Amino acid sequence: MAESKNFIHNIIEKDLESGKYGDKVLTRFPPEPNGYLHIGHAKSICLNFTTAMKYGGKCNLRYDDTNPVKEDVEYVDSIEEDVRWLGFSWDKRLWASDYFDEMYECAVTLIKKGLAFVCDFSGDEIRANRGTLTVPGKESPYRNRSVEENLKLFEEMKEGKYADGEKVLRAKIDMASPNINMRDPVIYRIAHVEHHNTGNKWCIYPMYDFAHPIEDAIEGVTHSICTLEFEDHRPLYDWVLQAVGKWPTPPQQIEFARLNITNTVMSKRYLKAMVDEGTVDGWDDPRMPTIAGLRRRGYTPESIRDFCERIGVAKANSTVDVALLESCLRDDLKTRVESRNVVENPIKVIITNYPEDMTEELPLENNREVPEMGERKLPFSRELWIDGDDFMENPPKKYFRLFPGNEVRFKGAYFITCNEVVKNEDGSVKELLCTYDPTTRSGSEGANRKVKGTIHWVDAATAVKIRIRNYDYLMVEDENGEYVNNPESLSESWGYGEPLLGEAEAGDRYQFFRKGYYIADSGLTTADEKVFNKIVGLKSSFKVKK
């Protein structure tokens, strides 16, 4: 995993060569604790942790909790569980809010250097004077307040003398800068809001663009990896650290393209709305692109890490086909889960020439690709269930499964011929009267005879009834090509499974033969009722680009 190289690694290797940070590499994953992590975060997690590992460095988990309004510590546990589940361990666990004192000191330093001023403009006035991409901004009339006055006003802001929005602290940079982020950006604002960590100690809070570089610098981060939308903020990141002047070798911000995936959304805010509105059944709903949702759906950490590795790290935004994620999952599950027979919409088969009181235990391989995974014994007797899709009374051409007069192979058992269809009063199929050819038992000479169709089956006497939850994508394109919620993203069915499925425990994964990969749902499975999530089908529609 750590073998591949991307442009971020190239930058780090140059820095190691020049000794910019000595031999040190320190990265961080900095979530804002305002929601559950999603697969976009997984990309950032994989990148930060594997990059540090690759160079013998370390990676911290830092909560970016400088915005008191939106944050909720409820999310902290889930974030830590998710990072660990993905297979990573952080060096230190840190809180940006622990640096509020130091950030305040940094702001005072800027004021003393004449590089920050208290501005009485409202948010609207600041916006109105900011200019545009083609027109420079106008300097605030408060820009030339003396250092003494600024120090006094900033302290009063801190002491709670002013209401929210009455004053802000702004960096004094350049209102004519072509980069709007550099036009005297706000670095502190007043918010009389309690903070989960610092309580009511503060009523002023630092803005992200001021806080983030200082957080990185305090921790000694060498390479601060973030997403592309912060590229235009990098001059401000560098300006803050240079202007404060406390750190001789400040961290280097590096941007990469954020992950987008088809048929889903990648924004905590939007995902939270879905949870709050009840569109989905919680943050860990198996349809959600959250790590918790993917985990419950049946994704493995290995498959997600493999996906993050395969999509690579780019400098340009793009949208990845969800089919690639599914294909990574299939590749992983293919060689690690056992096969089980399950039939849905079952149809009863009675083998009229099979002895009434006989049951055979027939061996079936657990995983066709991995012989070392051995085999299990399946009971086979006179009454069986087959899948509703494996029988047609009036089949079209090229239908090779069971139909009246046709013979098929029952996988691992015998060749079976359908002789008669018994109907219910309403005309539906009640059962199929069939005969078996005793000379065709699986593994024997007679089983070499050619037959076109192979289907699977479950012994009726020992079958276990299971519930199955089938998922479609959370979002689908409407006629204008816009993504909208898919009203049919969940459907339930039921089926009969072979007896071993009665022992399935929450989290156990299987391949249901000829159907797909399934996991016993961790929320709904009980000792008495087994509920399976369909993880993914067997076949991929995804074409790997050659």
Query: In the range 32-91, which residues lie near Mg ion by CB under 5 A?
Result: 32
Residue span 217-236 as binding mask against ligand ATP, x where in contact by CB under 6 A, dash where not: ---------xx---------
Q: Across-strand partners of 62?
A: 94
CB 261 within 8 A of CB 320: yes
Q: Could you say which of ligand ATP, Mg ion, none residue 267 binds, taking C-beta under 5 to 8 angstroms by partner kind?
A: ligand ATP
Is-catalytic flag, 3? no
Q: Could you say which of ligand ATP, Mg ion, none residue 43 binds, taking C-beta under 5 to 8 angstroms by partner kind?
A: ligand ATP
The residue among 371, 353, 359, 463 whose CA lies nearest residue 415 is: 353
- Report the relative pairing of strands 259-261 and 318-320 from DSSP bridges: parallel
Does 41 sit near ligand ATP (CB under 6 A)?
Answer: yes
Query: In the range 266-285, which residues lie near ligand ATP by CB under 6 A?
Result: 266-268
- Nearer to ligand ATP among residue 1 and residue 314 (C-beta): 314
CA 107 – CA 101 distance, rounded (Å): 10
The CB-nearest residue to ligand ATP is 40
> What residue has token string 């929210």?
164
Distance of closest approach, residue 208 Cβ to Mg ion, in angstroms: 8
Distance of closest approach, residue 79 Cβ to ligand ATP, in angstroms: 9
Query: In the range 250-269, which residues lie near ligand ATP by CB under 6 A?
Result: 258-259, 266-268
The residue among 69, 2, 60, 76 whose CA lies nearest residue 27 is: 60
| Count of residues that bind ligand ATP according to CB under 6 A | 15
* SS3 at position 381: strand
Distance of closest approach, residue 223 Cβ to ligand ATP, in angstroms: 12
Q: Which two three-digit tokens encode residue 381?
A: 């007797």
- Nearer to ligand ATP among residue 32 and residue 360 (C-beta): 32
Residue span 44-73 as binding mask against ligand ATP, x where in contact by CB under 6 A, dash where not: x-------------------x---------
Q: Could you count the other beta carbons within 10 Å of the beta carbon of residue 334?
A: 15
- Nearer to ligand ATP among residue 61 and residue 464 (C-beta): 61
CB 333 within 8 A of CB 339: no
- Nearer to Mg ion among residue 30 and residue 251 (C-beta): 30
**Among positions 30, 137, 185, 251, the unique one binding ligand ATP when judged by CB under 6 A:** 30
* SS3 at position 437: strand
Q: Could you count the other beta carbons within 10 Å of the beta carbon of residue 419?
A: 13
The residue annotated as part of the active site, out of 32, 139, 149, 383, is 32
Distance of closest approach, residue 217 Cβ to ligand ATP, in angstroms: 16
Is-catalytic flag, 32? yes
Task: Please give the order of strands across the beta sheet that includes 116-119.
Answer: 116-119, 168-171, 186-190, 204-206
Which region among 12-20, 36-44, 399-407, 454-462 touches ligand ATP (by CB under 6 A)?
A: 36-44
The CB-nearest residue to Mg ion is 32
User: 182 vs 171, 208, 249, 263, 502, CA distance in Å?
Assistant: 8, 14, 22, 37, 64
Residue span 411-450 as binding mask against ligand ATP, x where in contact by CB under 6 A, dash where not: ----------------------------------------
- DSSP 3-state percent helix, strand, coil across the chain (nearest 5): 30, 25, 40
- Nearer to Mg ion among residue 38 and residue 534 (C-beta): 38
- Nearer to ligand ATP among residue 268 and residue 330 (C-beta): 268
Q: Could you say which of ligand ATP, Mg ion, none residue 185 binds, taking C-beta under 5 to 8 angstroms by partner kind?
A: none
Which residues in 12-34 are b (16+ Cβ under 10 Å) and which e? beebbeeeebeebbbbbbbbbbb
- Report the relative pairing of strands 454-455 and 415-423 from DSSP bridges: unpaired
CA 121 – CA 108 distance, rounded (Å): 20
Distance of closest approach, residue 52 Cβ to ligand ATP, in angstroms: 14
The residue among 516, 522, 504 whose CA lies nearest residue 281 is: 522
The residue among 377, 386, 317 whose CA lies nearest residue 351 is: 386
Which region among 28-36, 108-116, 387-395, 416-424 touches ligand ATP (by CB under 6 A)?
A: 28-36
The residue annotated as part of the active site, out of 138, 258, 272, 514, is 258
Distance of closest approach, residue 254 Cβ to ligand ATP, in angstroms: 11
CB 211 within 8 A of CB 187: no
Is-catalytic flag, 268? yes
Q: Across-strand partners of 459?
A: 384
CA 66 – CA 202 distance, rounded (Å): 11
Query: In the range 22-41, which residues lie near Mg ion by CB under 5 A?
Result: 32
Distance of closest approach, residue 44 Cβ to ligand ATP, in angstroms: 4
Distance of closest approach, residue 8 Cβ to ligand ATP, in angstroms: 13
Amino acid, single-letter form, for residue 119: C
Q: Is 360 exposed, middle or buried (0-12, 13-18, 19+ CB in 10 A)?
A: middle
| Count of residues that bind Mg ion according to CB under 5 A | 1
The residue annotated as part of the active site, out of 58, 172, 268, 469, is 268
Does 318 sit near ligand ATP (CB under 6 A)?
Answer: no
CB 321 within 8 A of CB 365: no
CB 435 within 8 A of CB 537: no
The residue among 258, 181, 173, 208 whose CA lies nearest residue 70 is: 208
**Among positions 43, 167, 212, 223, the unique one binding ligand ATP when judged by CB under 6 A:** 43
Distance of closest approach, residue 272 Cβ to ligand ATP, in angstroms: 9
Which region among 30-38, 91-99, 135-143, 191-199 touches ligand ATP (by CB under 6 A)?
A: 30-38
Q: Which residues bind ligand ATP (CB under 6 A)?
A: 30-32, 40-41, 43-44, 64, 226-227, 258-259, 266-268
Q: Which residues bind Mg ion (CB under 5 A)?
A: 32
Instruction: Please identify every residue annotated as catalytic.
Output: 32, 258, 268
